[in-house]
Chain A
């Protein structure tokens, strides 16, 4: 299904199209949430709310402002960050690191869904120390780039270029896995 067709189906509130969207994107969108929200029950709750929101607010999506996946991923990411900052989670005091996340994948693999935990670990190992740090905070802990800049006294421009460098490394190595 082309993206145009998909969006039209979603706007028409078509159930089949919604199911297609779910099958195609639920895994990736759930990943966006669960790398920020560690607790799997809460992550599923956030995912439920986010996906329902995506379907209900599909009319607010404008093609001219970016691709569908980016729009959906941002909704999920923002919901996860909101949840993370609400009392509910901060009380548990858990902070997510890449290692926690990979460990989580390893402990899950072979049960529900086969995930290439080794692949993820190898991929993350390609990052140097600075890049790993940036990915950990922005991708896994839900920091914004300006928060990272302020909290760790790294110039904003440096944060930006490290985000870019990290994603470039990941992008290149994704093809190999």
Chain B
């Protein structure tokens, strides 16, 4: 075989670069054993490649070396840790105190159980608080609903009365008086049922010490039949029963109302038609 042309083929370089397949590799190895020239060429090429690598290379940083030897630590240690002489003594200790593993296990179980208990206790407390908050919210809503229901029933009853009854509307105005020229309040009066409602259309608000008081003026003079809330506009406010009246009037009286009207503070007056 022509050794020089085999060497010149470039196969040896590819062998060194690890690029030959198994069969070709075997061939190079077999021939290198058979022909010293091939073996020598291989050696020279490898030297050259190493020299080239060495020349073109820089050392990796020292921290890489540390990391590598840290990674290999367990590899090196293998030998040293096979030898320890303390092992038999350790075994005896284990035999003498067989409760130890159980104690350790029991402690572990206790610790885990405690942790779990604390965890669920916290969860429970959290949920309990949320539940209480929800209950409170629910009770407030129930109260509100009750109030709305009462209001509704009241209004419904009033509406029924107004529609069903024989109510007379008496307009009371402030035009003729000095107190509030634009004041306007309506009285609804069912003479047969003796029921009276007022509906405020326009009435100034009063300071804390005073109230508006409604008077029914009949044959026996003015009778106080209730206090009017100026703030509740255009809603029906039920007053005391009146059987007989020629006119209705409102005066400003000290808080809580008076026995007889303070005529200087007459706000509105309306005559029954």
Interface residues of A (CB under 8 A from B): 12-15, 18-19, 22, 26-32, 34-35, 43-44, 47-48, 51-52, 55-56, 64-67, 69-70, 73-74, 77-78, 101, 105, 108, 112-113, 115-116, 119-120, 123, 138, 144-146, 157, 159-164, 167, 170-171, 174, 177
Contact = CB atoms under 8 A, between A and B. Distances in A.
Contacts of B15: 66
Interface string B50-71: 1111111111110011011101
Given A69-B46, A164-B13, A29 B68 contact: no
A48 B56 contact: no
B50 A28 contact: yes
Contacts of B46: 67, 69-70
Contact of A27 (B29, B49, B57): B57
A108 B75 contact: no
Given A32-B53, A65-B25, A163-B13, A44 B64 contact: yes
B58 A112 contact: yes
B19 to A, nearest CB: 5
Contact of B67 (A48, A119, A171): A48
B44 to A, nearest CB: 7
A52 B18 contact: no
A35 B50 CA distance: 14
Interface stretch (B3-11, B231-239, B249-257): B3-11
A119 to B, nearest CB: 7
B49 to A, nearest CB: 7
Contacts of B105: none
B59 A30 contact: yes
B10 to A, nearest CB: 3
A163 B10 contact: yes
A157 B8 CA distance: 11
Given A55-B75, A65-B29, A164-B13, A171 B60 contact: no
B92 interface: no
Interface in B6-57: 8-19, 25, 29, 43-46, 48-57
Main secondary structure of the interface of A (DSSP, over half): helix
Contacts of B96: none
7 contacts: A15-B69, A18-B72, A47-B60, A65-B25, A78-B18, A164-B10, A171-B45
A152 B79 CA distance: 53
Given A26-B60, A64-B29, A177 B65 contact: no
A113 B58 contact: yes
B37 to A, nearest CB: 15
B14 A116 contact: no
A170 B9 contact: no
A131 B68 CA distance: 36
A22 B52 contact: no
A48 B58 contact: no
A1 to B, nearest CB: 15
A34 B59 CA distance: 11
A28 B53 contact: yes
Given A51-B68, A161-B9, A70 B16 contact: yes
B99 interface: no
Given A48-B67, A145-B14, A15 B55 contact: no
